[in-house]
Structure 1
Amino acid sequence: MSLGRIVFSRSPRSERGLLSGWNRNLVNDLSCNGPRQPTTRVMSRCYKLHTCSTSKSVVSPLLRSNICGTPSSYQSAAPSLRSFSEGPSSSEEDDWGAEYEALTAQRNKNIIMNPAGQGKNILPGGYVLKKDPKKGGYRKVILEHSLGYFWAIKELATTNKKPILSNNAVIPAAEAEEFPFLGDLVNLKGEAASIPDFFTRNNRSKDASAKCTLVAISYKDFGAQLLPSWIDPFDMAFRKGVNNEADRYEVVRIIINEGRMVKLLSPFITSGTKKNVPESDHANTLLYYGIDAEEFRDILRMHNIYSGYVFLVDGIGRVRWAGSGEGTEEEIHSMIGIAKDLTKRLQKQLPQSQNPRIGKRVQ
């Protein structure tokens, strides 16, 4: 009888449930030699699996104790182990509830999700709730596992490439939220930057009406090809047209590149981007190279990375309007009108005295 069969015959029901989705060959290759210092890998719904530093096999402390004996470091962790079939403990539910509320509170409440899309159902962290037909209730499932790996492409068809809808009017200043932070950016001239500080770098007076910035964000080439439908009319209305205050309007392109290999490919990505962006806009084209920008994406509800997104940001870095996909004539007209309203200076009038002073001039 092989070692794998011995293990599964001796393991309790909870252990069999835990390992039902794993490759049983990993157990056959399990090494019991050398020092073992447990590390923890956090899975969905806060379930925890433990692994030895000497092996890449991911097994529970109870299963490892059946094979290698029960080290003291694992004895304390074994009683707290729960299998997927048993469901989460009350403390784990409380931890996820608190984490979920904190992440949800960060989302921009003024962004309108398209009712025909899937974005309205996506939870922070890239999960969705799925009903369990056997046990009833709902459980948290990874987005791609529930909707499929091509859900984003399907959503483009159902929403006309607009995962979020454009605001019909300017977001009131009292309700406007600050643009989320994203660091480790670099422009096409090789200068480091971070947002939203980049939008307000020249506004020393901290005047909300001093400047309006059109922020255009893309993740894929398909989304980047949709953005000129917004950028070109904005340029013609404010920056390239007859306008004495062109310096009060700015376009900032942000290209998000996520993955573990993008750092190595960054020279090629930067070179290709320079060919597609006018040289006059190289200073305002920011590129992000990192493993993950999930929190930034979730705050602005940019769940579908195949579309393009646009935002109007006022002089102090607040989001006052949002849109996505390809701009229609009506949406572009509304965007330009809102940009004008954001830069409208208030007329300061001197207070007039209701009881003017009447008298002789003193000589």
Structure 2
Amino acid sequence: MQLAVANKIIIPEAVAVKFPDLAVQSTDGRTLNLPLVVPLRNDDHEAGNAVVSQNGDRKSSDLVVPDASLLCLSFRASSHKMAESWSLPFLDAFSSTGNIQVYEVSFIDIWLLSSSLWRRALLKFMRRSDDPQRNVVYSFGDHYYFRQKLRIINLLTGYIYLVDRLGRVRWEGSGSATQEELSSLTACASVLLDAGKTRLDDK
């Protein structure tokens, strides 16, 4: 189910909005705050590449900020395949060449799972990924205000966001991917990765 056609070009920095903060858990029980962003410094607003303060339970070496992150949101199990129609081709295109990460986020709002004990038990049986660039994670609890910020209404479809290293949404899509939309996604991601390479060359 597709609500709108995906962006064809990258969203300019000047008008790009920040992806809302989102706490998620991996199947090993660790908590991660998305999106990963570069910590600000007084002398360089894009300096640094490891998040420490916002993810205190993770080693800083595990938290290198990617130049491009693909966040795939599923509010119902029926949209997992939609998310994979974007995430798997994205990984195929960039896993060996770019500083990228994919986060497949499943939202679980069952009140019983507000208990950390039930939550830990459930995570042991949830789907996971062995690919270090593909992160299958879960968000528990009410997500109404999070959805409001992204103007998400229909929970039966999947939502896809390409986020830069400062946490800004630079491209978005929904539903199942078409070949044309995948082409626009990879083109926009390439712009972010090229910018990352330029920063490294300038240092």
- TM-score of the aligned structures, taking structure 1 as reference length: 0.44
Asked if 1:279 corresponds to 2:122, the answer is no
C-alpha separation in 2, matches of 1:226 and 1:176: 24
Partner of 2:113: 262
The CA RMSD over aligned residues, in Å, is: 2.9
Aligned structure 1 segments of 4 or more residues deviating by more than 6 angstroms: 347-350
Letter paired with 1:234: F
Q: Between Structure 1 and Structure 2, which shows a larger proportion of helix residues? A: 1
Q: 2:101 aligns with which of 239, 250, 254?
A: 250
Query: Hey, what's the Cα distance between the residues in 1 that align with 2:30 and 2:134?
Result: 8
Q: Distance in 2 between matches of 1:349 and 1:226?
A: 37
Q: CA deviation at 1:325?
A: 0.6
1:186 corresponding residue in structure 2? 25
- Cα distance in structure 1, aligned partners of 2:10 and 2:67: 15
Aligned to 1:163: 3
Partner of 2:43: none
Partner AA of 2:178 in structure 1: T
Deviates more, 1:256-265 or 1:169-178: 256-265
Mind listing any 5+ residue stretches in structure 1 that lack a counterpart?
A: 1-160, 351-363
Candidates 212, 229, 249, aligned match of 2:68: 212
Cα shift readout 1:271-302 (whole Å, capped 9, x = no counterpart): 3323xx32235983321111x11111111122
Question: Could you tell me how far 1:270 is from its partner in structure 2?
Answer: 1.8
Map residues 230-245 of structure 1 onto 2, 5 A cutoff. Answer: 230-240=86-96, 243=97
Is the contact made by 1:218 and 1:254 (CA closer than 8 Å) also made in structure 2? yes
Work out whether residues 165 and 322 of structure 1, in 8 Å CA contact, stay in contact via their aligned partners in 2: no
The 3 A distance-change label for structure 1 pair 304 and 272 is farther
8 Å contact from structure 1 (residues 189, 283) kept in 2: no
Bigger Rg, structure 1 or 2: 1
SS in 1 for 2:15: coil
Q: Which residue of 2 aligns with 1:308?
A: 158
Counterpart AA for 1:216: C
Quote the sequence identity (%): 26
SS in structure 1 at match of 2:124: helix
Whole-Å Cα distance in 2 between the matches of residues 271 and 175 of structure 1? Answer: 40
- Residue among 167, 171, 182 paired with 1:317: 167
Pair 305,349 (structure 1): closer, same or farther in 2 beyond 3 Å: closer
What are structure 2's unaligned runs of at least 5 residues?
40-45, 50-64
CA distance in 2, matches of 1:263, 1:283: 26
Q: How big is each residue's C-alpha offset from its partner over 1:148-207, in whole Å with a ceiling of 9 and x where there is no partner?
A: xxxxxxxxxxxxx11243112100000001111223x221221112222x3558x8526x
